[in-house]
Amino acid sequence: MSAEASPMAHVSVTIAGRAYRMACDDGQEDHLTRLGQEVDAKIDQLRAAFGEIGDQRLSVMAAITIADELSETRRHLRALEQELTAERAARAGAQQRLGDGQKVLAGTVLDAAERLERLARELGPSPSGGVGMG
């Protein structure tokens, strides 16, 4: 039995003046084209900086430069993820302290209400408790 593979799309990508026919998942053609344009732009940028030093060397330098940018982006993403984790922990701690504060406040209000009720019982019935004056 053979599993039917989804059809692969094909894109022609031009890098450093050479066209390359590449396969990609269906629907990814524009993405692959943009990536090819980014690589081509990086090679053009390096060519402008270093002159004609050979296509293979320019390609390797472009690949290393892009890998370095990717590495820096990953490092930055890890730092942001750590910051987000710390912020979430701080938020959870603040919510816990808020909940604890609400419990203390509720206990204080209940204690005050009980003391007021006890004081009211000790003072007895209200002087205007329905006795007519007249």
Cα-Cα-Cα-Cα dihedral sign, residues 84, 88, 91, 97: negative
Q: How far apart are CA 10 and CA 25, in angstroms?
A: 8
Mean pLDDT of 1-29: 85
Instruction: Transcribe 55-103 into DSSP letters.
Output: HHHHHHHHHHHHHHHHHHHHHHHHHHHHHHHHHHHHHHHHHHHHHHHHH
> What integer pLDDT is reported at residue 5 of this predicted model?
61
20 contacts: CB under 8 Å, gap ≥ 6: 12, 13, 14, 36
Question: Measured between alpha carbons, how far is 96 from 46 in angstroms, rounded to an integer?
Answer: 54
pLDDT in tens, 41-55: 999 999 999 888 888
- State pLDDT tens for residues 66-115: 999 999 999 999 999 999 999 999 999 999 999 999 999 999 999 999 99
